[in-house]
Amino acid sequence: MKNQPATHVLVIGYVWPEPRSSAAGGHMMQILESFLTQGWEITFSSPAAIGEHKADLAALGIRECTIELNNSSFDEFIHELAPDIVLFDRFMMEEQFGWRVEKHCPDALRVLETSDLQSLRDARHQRLKDFLKHSPQADDFSPLFAPALEEEFQLMADTDLAKREIAAIYRCDISLMISDVEIQLLTEHFKVPAALLHWCPLMVDPPAEAFTPYDDRAHFLSIGNFRHAPNWDAVLWMKNSVWPLIRQRLPGAQLHVYGAYTPPKATALHNPAQGFHVMNWAEDALQVMSAARICLAPLRFGAGIKGKLADGMLCGTPSVTTPIGAEGMGDEQPWPGAIAHSATALAAAAVALYEDPQAWTMAQQRGRELLAQRYTTHIHGPALVERLQHCRDELAQHRRNNFTGSMLRHHLHKSTQYMAQWIEAKNRVL
């Protein structure tokens, strides 16, 4: 009996993955590792510049290729590659390359890695701006954290970003959703068929070794890519509102703020006299997380699920966050730390947890249990592969059932094709 040829996956990345810089980069690497476990061949391509913290894909046996926007060289590239599966990393890549993939590899399974719903994140950001415009000195942000999904839908429904993003979901065969809350939003309110969505959260395993104990830890920690708007907003809120309240209760406390691509506006916040230390990028995020006693993540907007909070659970570091930070992560299980709605409540919870070894140890154990219940690699990796294989086996009927997606591909891809060809012709002239 002849061996079946290996499945070949082409990834079209919005950026080159940087697992030590962002949760999105880490999630992409987890997906790639799930494919490698199956013996699948992977080619990773991107039109983006290579960042300084890029993962070494070649060392994993993944081929790397630079591609160009609005350039027919991609047509020859994908025609020769003839992938079985094409994974678009973020909907913008589907907009740019989807029509070329369909034209040259019509039978390839088209998969969208959403990372998070950017239209949801953007709508929440706008809601925060509007709230602060009317209540610039607000302490309690409960109105932002409590809306029902119907209200989120109303915020998003008229935006161009939501229309673009959800149209891309329809045009693809399967979209990977990191948050089951976002699946609920899409299916119940945007009426996206569940058959087009697959829950694929962060894939991690609880460590077998013992955590660093309470007495061997010190200080508070905050971590996150500074280019990600929710993280920068959280740092500002900590600096101006949350951290001063913590220092009133713990005058010797220190907060270490780590983040990739630290801009001058962030380093300007560094103030050792206030115990506020901007530390730049962490070479090993898990190492600095394991040394901290509390992870602070006061996120006032955002979407998806939060890699920093999963890292906290991995390291046995309790976290203090908002309902936005915890959204989609706990599935009603007790949170491994505390969730609060205001700067005053966040500071009080952080201080109480910092000073109570018994409560701290209980929160640490809850994190281990939560990882085991929701995020284990050996469950989600095979489930992802099985879903993709099933969809490939039933691809013709799957697409027939998704007439809306077929219609959207027909209209958008034609207009996108003509625009791309016009840009390419114009570039030749210039």
Tokens at residue 147, please? 């809306």
- The CATH number for 321's domain is 3.40.50.2000
Stretch 31-56: mean pLDDT: 95
More confident residue, 375 or 421: 375
By 3-state DSSP, what share of the chain in percent is helix, strand and coil, each rounded to 5? 55, 15, 35
292 shares its domain with 330:
yes
Q: Which domain holds residue 328?
A: 214-374
Q: Which positions ≥6 away from 410 have C-beta within 8 Å?
A: none
Instruction: With both helix axes pointing from N to C terminus, report the angle between 23-37 and 307-315 in degrees, rounded to the nearest 10.
Output: 70
Cα–Cα nearest to 110, from 72, 146, 83: 83
Cβ atoms of residues 142 and 342 within 8 Å = yes
pLDDT in tens, 326-342: 999 986 789 999 999 99
3-state secondary structure of 149: helix
| In contact, 295 and 308? CB cutoff 8 Å | yes
Helix (H, G, I), strand (E, B) or coil at 294: strand
Specify whether 80 is located in the same domain as 187.
yes
- Of 337, 354, 374, which residue constitutes the final position of a domain? 374
Judge whether 406 lies within some domain.
Answer: yes
- Has residue 388 got a pLDDT over 70? yes
Whether residue 54 is found in the same domain as residue 18: yes
Whether this prediction's pTM lies above 0.85 is answered by yes
Are 368 and 389 members of one domain?
no
Provide the percentage of residues in the chain whose pLDDT is more than 90: 83
Q: How far is CA 211 from the centre of its chain?
A: 26
Reported as a single tens digit per residue, the pLDDT across 161-211 is 999 999 999 999 999 999 999 999 999 999 999 999 999 999 998 888 889
Strand order in the sheet with 220-223: 276-280, 255-258, 220-223, 294-297, 319-321, 337-339
Indicate the number of domains in the chain.
Answer: 2
Secondary structure (DSSP) of 348-380: HHHHHHHH-HHHHHHHHHHHHHHHHHH--HHHH
Closest CA to 189 of 220, 167, 157: 157
Judgement on whether residues 19 and 158 belong to the same structural domain of the protein? yes
pLDDT of residue 52: 83
Rounded-to-10 torsion of CA 346, 348, 350, 352: -150
In 88-208, alpha helices (H): 91-104, 118-134, 142-145, 149-156, 160-171, 180-188
Residue 110 has φ and ψ, to the nearest 5°, of -105, 120
Summarised one tens digit per residue, pLDDT across range 91-104 is: 999 999 999 999 99
